[in-house]
């Protein structure tokens, strides 16, 4: 609903001044409104840069946000592997890392130490392959150990510059890896991109309640700002590992541990070789309350699937490789591929 040129959220208080009003989040009518903080921190009034952003984004067909309620759930890992998968489907793909305080994407795509180059068309992405380009503040830091200590306006200004000045060319997909939570960066990326058309958001979580509580807030955020939730991905749903990849230890009476891996594997080969092809499954996080699938049913958002914890995927991420070309990622790659195929179908 609109009031003049000032957009009013559906669940706003009576006499709402509108989310684009200078009084948004500050007026007496805003007290107690669930949108108060978002409206108070969002940019106000017409922004001339939005026209430039719209022109730059016009050559990008699908813009997808990858979000998480909290850190450490594998959001950037999913964004990186999603980008690899889309590129391997012969799509033109861009990956934009706006996790300004924790830019891990350069490492996850094997691009550490790369620099951004400028041309008369703007900043050029750093390319993994000819059809997979990446942009991140990580490319701008002289020292990867340097902390980025910026206030909101400066972070928002960089996000705008990424959208306005990066020459992506024609893309089928732009994957945006956002920081965890619902911070200024989220409000900015939505504000800057909304007029250009965002396909929607994927939210990554782990199964336990402490993570799902924050995912509910992320879903609420998306609904408030008008972003479709494309689905929830439950990461680290359980540990799955081949017996042959296990390390075995034996405790001594003094409390020390001895590595007995060679002895154990030799014993299995001799006495039960069929066990070497067995996958061991172990629940790492408590999912007794139904995990992400149950939460999706309650909140009426799509559940895209589960990705097990896979040491080979962790190794591929550390080395900046695609799990889909790694013959050892037999547990995680099929699960990720099924999820990504669902996602691509929903974007058609």
Contacts (Cβ under 8 Å, ≥6 apart) of 269: 276
Distance CA 206, CA 284 (A): 10
Task: Tell me if 76 is assigned to a ligand binding site.
Answer: yes
Contacts (Cβ under 8 Å, ≥6 apart) of 155: 100, 184, 185, 188
Task: Tell me if 305 is assigned to a ligand binding site.
Answer: no
**H-state helical runs in the chain:** 36-41, 49-57, 75-88, 105-108, 152-165, 184-193, 209-225, 261-271, 291-299, 311-318, 332-347
Task: Tell me if 73 is assigned to a ligand binding site.
Answer: yes
Contacts (Cβ under 8 Å, ≥6 apart) of 345: none
E strand or H helix at 128:
strand 126-129
Distance CA 310, CA 282 (A): 11
Q: What are phi and psi of 42, to 5 degrees?
A: -70, 145
Task: Tell me if 71 is assigned to a ligand binding site.
Answer: yes
Residue 100: C-alpha distances to residues 112, 187, 190, 274 (Å):
15, 14, 16, 48
String of b and e for 148-158 (b: at least 16 CB within 10 Å)? beeeeeebbeb
Token pair, residue 90, equals 């012969």
Task: Tell me if 128 is assigned to a ligand binding site.
Answer: no
**Residue among 336, 337, 339 at smallest CA distance from 231:** 339
Task: Tell me if 75 is assigned to a ligand binding site.
Answer: yes
Distance CA 93, CA 176 (A): 11
Helix 291-299 vs helix 209-225: crossing angle, to nearest 10:
30
Known binding-site residues equal: 16, 30, 33, 39, 69-76
Known binding-site residues for [4Fe-4S] cluster equal: 16, 30, 33, 39
Known binding-site residues for ATP equal: 69-76
């Amino acid at each position: 609903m609109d009031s003049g040129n000032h957009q009013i959220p559906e669940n706003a208080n009576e006499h709402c001044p509108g989310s684009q009003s200078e009084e948004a989040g500050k007026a007496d009518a805003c007290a107690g409104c669930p949108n108060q903080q978002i409206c108070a921190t969002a940019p106000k009034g017409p922004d001339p840069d939005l026209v430039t952003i719209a022109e730059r984004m016009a050559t990008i067909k699908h813009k997808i946000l990858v979000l998480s309620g909290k850190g450490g759930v594998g959001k950037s890992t999913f964004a990186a592997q999603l980008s690899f998968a889309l590129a391997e489907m012969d799509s033109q793909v861009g990956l934009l890392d706006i996790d300004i305080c924790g830019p891990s994407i350069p490492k996850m795509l094997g691009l550490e130490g790369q620099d951004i180059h400028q041309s008369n068309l703007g900043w050029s992405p750093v390319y993994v392959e000819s059809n997979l380009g990446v942009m991140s503040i990580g490319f701008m830091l002289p020292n990867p150990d340097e902390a980025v200590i910026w206030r909101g306006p400066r972070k928002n200004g960089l996000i705008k510059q990424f959208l306005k000045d990066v020459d992506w060319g024609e893309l089928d997909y732009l994957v945006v890896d956002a920081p965890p939570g619902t911070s200024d960066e989220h409000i900015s990326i939505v504000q800057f991109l909304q007029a250009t058309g965002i396909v929607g958001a994927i939210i990554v979580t782990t199964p336990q309640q402490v993570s799902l509580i924050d995912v509910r807030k992320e879903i609420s955020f998306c609904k408030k700002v008008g972003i479709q939730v494309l689905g929830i991905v439950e990461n680290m749903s359980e540990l799955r590992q081949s017996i042959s990849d296990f390390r075995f230890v034996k405790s001594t009476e003094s409390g020390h541990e001895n590595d007995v891996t060679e002895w154990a594997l030799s014993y299995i080969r001799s006495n039960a070789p069929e066990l070497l092809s067995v996958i061991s499954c172990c629940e790492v996080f408590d999912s007794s309350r139904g995990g992400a699938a149950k939460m999706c049913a309650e909140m009426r958002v799509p559940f895209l699937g589960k990705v097990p914890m896979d040491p080979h995927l962790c190794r591929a991420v550390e080395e900046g490789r695609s799990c889909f070309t790694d013959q050892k990622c037999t547990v995680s790659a099929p699960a990720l591929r099924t999820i990504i195929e669902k996602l691509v179908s929903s974007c058609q």
